[in-house]
Structure 1
Amino acid sequence: MAEVKSGDVVKVHYTGKLTNGEQFDSSIGREPLEFTVGAGQMIAGFDAALPGMNVGDKKTINIAAKDAYGETDETAIIEFPKEHVPAEMKLEVGQQLTLSNEQGQPFPVVVKELREDVVILDANHFLAGKELVFDIELVSIGA
């Protein structure tokens, strides 16, 4: 039976959870996820878990933050002047917004804190700084 190796195109079903058991994503009920192992299409820890698996194999892996979406980057915490927030916009802690950078490219942020004169926004990926747990089932190897 063929084992997964770097460069193989694979299809997997997965369920992603935080260490407290809270689920953040799953392919169950959808088409399996297809990607090329070792091509950098997946977070490093997920990619590294596939080599050696056979079709039908299931495993649960823990991925440290550094091998997932990275550690929380303090430089991605933004103090946004309230004077630049439209008066009709009601902000709440936890609210997701989209800002644009200098090149006009959109990027997501989350309202972390509301202060008198500034809004504290977090532009880190929502899973940055978190250890992740994935249940993986190898569905197929090859196209």
Structure 2
Amino acid sequence: MKELPVDKGTRVTLNFALKFQDGEVVDSTFDKEPATLEIGDENLPENFEAYLMGMTAGEQKSVEVPPERAFGQHNPNNVQTFKRHEFSADMVLEPGVMISFADARQQELPGVVSRVEGDEVEVDFNHPLAGRTLTFDVEIIDVEPVGPAH
């Protein structure tokens, strides 16, 4: 049977690793169960899916992903300043703490405290990987057509 290439309408089982340029691993399935996803189901950002297109079972590759193809550049407009009293009194507010906000559409919007000074709390809503060049290692284990939904 001819090896099916990765394309829209396929279900792909793969191992992947996302690493910083210094080799630090951000996320990886190589040491656990492989991931299975359908192309176009938004489990993987579209730009990462693009790197998989045309690959077949048994293939491996490693690509360097610049910020604009990964999680975007760091945007200073995504850093907001709040007053301390806008948070509950028992909330720990220190740099690095992640807080979930609801945006205008009531979608969850995570922000990370970047600075606390006096009554001011600065929160960064950029993706934690924004502005980073990443290495995307991928190994395709299986590619199968997605059957009609039942």
Which range moved further: 132-141 or 6-15? 6-15
Distance apart, 1:87 and its partner CA: 2.7
State the shift of 1:115 in Å.
1.7
- 1:1-143 equivalent positions in 2, closer than 5 A: 1-7=2-8, 8-37=10-39, 39=40, 41=42, 42-142=44-144
Q: CA deviation at 1:85?
A: 2.3
Contact persistence 2:84–2:120 (CA under 8 A): yes
Deviation string, structure 1 residues 70-122 (Cα, Å, up to 9, x no partner): 11222211111112122332311111111222444332110101122210001
- State the alpha-carbon separation in 2 of the partners of residues 67 and 97 from structure 1: 26
Return the letter of the residue paired with 2:3: A
Unmatched segments (≥5 aa) in structure 1? none
Looking at structure 2, the residues matched to 54 and 69 of structure 1 have their Cα atoms a distance apart, in angstroms, of: 26
When the two structures are aligned, how many residues end up with a matched partner?
A: 142
- Measure the CA separation in 2 of the matches of 1:46 and 1:106: 23
Moved more, 62-71 or 24-33: 24-33
Equivalent residue letter for 2:5: V
Which structure 2 segments of 5+ residues have no match?
146-150
Distance in 2, matches of 1:131 and 1:66, equals 9
* 1-structure distance, mates of 2:88, 2:72: 33
> TM-score scaled by structure 1?
0.86
Question: What percentage of aligned pairs have identical amino acids?
Answer: 27
The verdict on how the C-alpha distance between 1:47 and 1:106 changes in structure 2, with shifts beyond 3 A counting, is: closer
- The TM-score normalised by the length of structure 2 is 0.83
User: What CA RMSD, in Å, does the superposition of the two structures yield over aligned residues?
Assistant: 1.9
After the TM superposition, which of the residue ranges 118-127 and 68-77 deviates more from structure 2? 68-77
Amino acid at match of 2:38: T
CA 1:52 to 1:86, structure 2 compared with 1: closer, same or farther past 3 Å? closer
Counterpart secondary structure, 1:90: coil
SS at match of 1:46: helix
1:40-90 CA-partner distances (Å, limit 9, x unpaired): 622233212222322111111111111111112222111111121223323
